[in-house]
Amino acid sequence: MALSRLARVRSSFAKPHLTVPIRPRAHMSGAGSRQLNLEPYIVTPKDLSAALTKNVPTKISTAPRVIPLCAAWFLPNDPQGRTGRRVFEEKRIPSARFFDLDAVKDHGSPYPHMLPSADGFAKAMQEIGIRKDDEVVVYDTQELGIFSAPRVAWTLKVFGHQGVHILNNFRLWVEQGYPTESGKVEAVVEEPSHYPAPTLDAAKVVDFPGMKEIAQDHGKEGSEAVQVLDARSSGRWAGTDPEPRPGLSSGHMPGSISVPVSELLHPDTGALLPGEELRRLFQSKGVDPERPIVSSCGTGVTAAVVDAALGEAGYGHAEARRLYDGSWTEWAQRVTEADGLIRKEN
Kind and range of the H or E element at 229?
strand 227-230
Q: Which strands, in side-by-side order, build the sheet including 135-139?
A: 42-43, 164-167, 135-139, 66-70, 97-98
Whether 297 sits among the annotated catalytic residues: the reply is yes
Query: Which of 213, 180, 195 has its CA nearest to residue 136?
Result: 195
Count of residues making up the chain? 346
Q: Give 182's strand partners.
A: 17
Helix (H, G, I), strand (E, B) or coil at 36: coil
Strands 97-98 and 42-43: unpaired
Helix (H, G, I), strand (E, B) or coil at 71: coil
Alpha helices (runs of H) in 55-128, residue ranges in sequence order:
84-90, 118-127
- Helix crossing, 303-313 with 275-284: angle to 10°? 110
240 by Cβ neighbours in 10 Å (0-12 / 13-18 / 19+) ranks as middle
Residue 209 CA: distances (Å) to CA of 50, 243, 302, 325: 45, 23, 21, 12
Kind and range of the H or E element at 5?
helix 4-10
Kind and range of the H or E element at 170?
helix 170-175
Strands 180-182 and 17-19: antiparallel
HSE, CB side, 13 Å, CA atoms: give it for residue 89.
Answer: 14
Name the catalytic one among 297, 320, 332, 342. Answer: 297
136 by Cβ neighbours in 10 Å (0-12 / 13-18 / 19+) ranks as buried
Catalytic positions are 297
